[in-house]
Amino acid sequence: MPDHRIAGELSIKELEVAIAIRKRERRVATRLNGSNRPRKSPARTWRDRCLLLIEVAALFGLVLVVINSEQSRAATNQAVTDAQVAPAMLPVPLIGAVVLPDGHKPPTAPGGAAPNFDEVPSHLRAYVQSITPVPISTPAQAQATRIQIPALNIDAMVLHGTDWEQLKLGVGHNVNSANPGERGNLVLAAHNDVYGELFRYLDRLKPGDEVVVYANQQRYRYMITGSRIVEPTQVEVMAPTSTPTVTLISCYPYLVDTKRIAVFAELQS
């Protein structure tokens, strides 16, 4: 029977025995609890390690996907930016021109009158110099052959083209512009201070003055509507028009030739 006496009623010997019994019971209970705890098998340990490796690889792959996505987005944005900037570096002519015709150095310049490539934007000079000049040819039936401006006492032949060699001989008809009488912009150019100075006094023309252009024997009468002083690169004055018009172009001012004068007229008959 269990001994229910209190500790004060036990002898020292009996207390020592009771403590030893209690320690032995605790050791037995600890061993029993430890034997009931499930132990991990080697296979389960390797599986856990493999799962950990898979999780780490998946995390690394996700990081790579995010990095690649950001790089792709940056490349796409740069491509869009380049596409917006690139056209500014290329010639954007309205009718195949980088600068307006008749560009030349004045006869008072060192070396005398000569084509002025300095007015061509630097990034386009190689492009302009690579263009083969249009050979002087006999105008076709519909092309301009003669121009008269009564207010300036001008009566001159018109050649096909506005290159340096053509403008030495007279007024040039820009090859990409309209023919006399046609719907569109007929562009004619001539020098103001060399080779006859045919267009020296274009700045004296005023609205209502008459310009007569011939295509062989056919006569077309235009009336001046206005004029502008523009930069050599303002090729928009040669833009096609929805009605029959003519634009007269020459260097400006006289013996300086840093700009252009453009005079506009509309077909009357």
Per the omega criterion (within 30 degrees of 0), is the bond before 253 cis?
yes
State the total domains in the chain. Answer: 3
pLDDT at 83: 47
* Arithmetic mean of pLDDT, 2-21: 65
CATH of the domain at 245: 2.40.260.10
Helix/strand/coil for 219: strand
Same domain, 149 and 182: yes
pLDDT at 215: 94
18-70: pLDDT as tens digits: 777 777 777 766 666 655 555 556 666 777 778 788 888 887 777 787 787 77
Indicate if the pLDDT at residue 205 is higher than 70: yes
Contact 169, 136 (CB under 8 A): yes
The tokens describing 4, both together, are: 């229910």
Rounded distance between C-alpha atoms, residue 189 and residue 192, angstroms: 10
* Ordered DSSP codes for 160-176: E--SHHHHTTSEEE-TT
Same domain, 115 and 246: yes
Task: Evaluate whether residue 99 is within a structural domain.
Answer: no
pLDDT at 71: 76
Same domain, 127 and 183: yes
Q: pLDDT-based confidence at 87, cuts 50/70/90?
A: very low
163-180: pLDDT as tens digits: 888 899 999 999 889 999
Contact 257, 104 (CB under 8 A): yes
Give the domain extent around 26: 8-34
pLDDT at 94: 37
Contact 189, 171 (CB under 8 A): yes
Same domain, 139 and 74: no
pLDDT at 61: 77
